[in-house]
């Protein structure tokens, strides 16, 4: 069974970029709901798998209830950790070594931001934008619909599979209370809360897998 992880910061810690009401609804309603429904679905299947990553990598073997709620569970577990308040490093630039990786792959940090923002802005309907590490330890940007992610063996992500290290939720529930239909404004605000230390930690973990 999977547990709803504790947040490492208060609901209002990401203000003014992500408002307290959105944080509370997003975490206490949506993420909690995905967690409960995932556990219910796995219980019905009598599944003993304890790794959410293994489930997602083999998601074609599971029903839609596990795909949707397992994706929702994993994606949000990642999402909360790759954000932080300014007092804890949120919004800082990446370290010089990781900045060099982004520049080498995408041309510049600003170009990386532009490409990532485009994926997030042009994802039709609900979904996620991602920075990932592929099987050759190369960085790539993509987006996926609904609660899919690039770990899944059937996810729509331009044929790319990999380990997500940065993700942006572009479901309306993630931004509509504050930004209404102005998704680009929400995307721009996101850069002010990214926890690059955690992103880089996830990158290093991905290299070992």
Residue-wise pLDDT tens digits, 137-150: 999 999 999 999 99
Q: Quickly state the pLDDT bin for 64 (edges 50, 70, 90).
A: very high
Residue 9 lies in a domain: no
**Total structural domains in the chain?**
1
Report if pTM > 0.75. Answer: yes
Crossing angle of the two packed helices 64-81 and 32-45, in degrees rounded to 10: 140
Longest dimension (CA), the chain: 48
175 lies in which domain range? 19-209
Residue-wise pLDDT tens digits, 83-129: 999 999 999 999 999 999 999 999 999 999 999 999 999 999 999 99
Could you tell me the CATH number of the domain that includes residue 177? 3.55.40.20
Cβ-based burial of 113 (10 A; exposed 0-12, middle 13-18, buried ≥19): middle
Residue 1 lies in a domain: no
Rounded CA-CA distance 36/39 in Å is 5
Residue 2 lies in a domain: no
Residue 90 lies in a domain: yes
Q: Quickly state the pLDDT bin for 158 (edges 50, 70, 90).
A: low
Residue 188 lies in a domain: yes
Residue-wise pLDDT tens digits, 23-52: 999 999 999 999 999 999 999 999 999 999
Residue 130 lies in a domain: yes
**Complete edge-to-edge strand list for the sheet that includes strand 139-145:** 139-145, 127-133, 163-169
- Locate the DSSP E strands across the chain: 127-133, 139-145, 163-169
Looking at the predicted structure, is the pLDDT value of residue 160 above 90? no
Residue 12 lies in a domain: no
Residue 122 lies in a domain: yes
Share of the chain above pLDDT 70, in %: 98
């Amino acid at each position: 069974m999977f547990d709803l992880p504790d947040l490492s910061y208060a609901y209002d810690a990401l203000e003014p970029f992500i408002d307290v009401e959105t944080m509370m609804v997003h975490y206490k309603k949506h993420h909690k709901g995905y967690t409960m429904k995932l556990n219910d679905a796995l219980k019905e299947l009598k599944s003993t798998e304890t790794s959410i990553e293994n489930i997602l990598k083999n998601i074609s073997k599971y029903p839609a209830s596990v795909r949707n709620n397992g994706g929702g569970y994993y994606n949000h577990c990642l999402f909360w950790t790759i954000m932080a308040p300014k007092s804890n490093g949120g919004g800082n630039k990446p370290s010089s070594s990781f900045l060099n990786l982004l520049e080498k792959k995408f041309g510049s940090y600003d170009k990386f931001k532009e490409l990532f923002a485009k994926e997030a802005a042009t994802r039709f309907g609900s979904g996620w934008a991602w920075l990932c590490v592929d099987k050759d330890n190369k960085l790539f940007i993509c987006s996926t619909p609904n609660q899919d992610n690039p770990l899944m063996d059937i996810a729509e992500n331009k044929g790319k599979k990999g380990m997500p290290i940065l993700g942006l939720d572009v479901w309306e529930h993630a931004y509509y209370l504050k930004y209404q239909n102005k998704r680009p404004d929400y995307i721009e605000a996101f850069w002010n809360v990214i926890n690059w230390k955690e992103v880089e930690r996830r990158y290093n973990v991905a290299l070992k897998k």
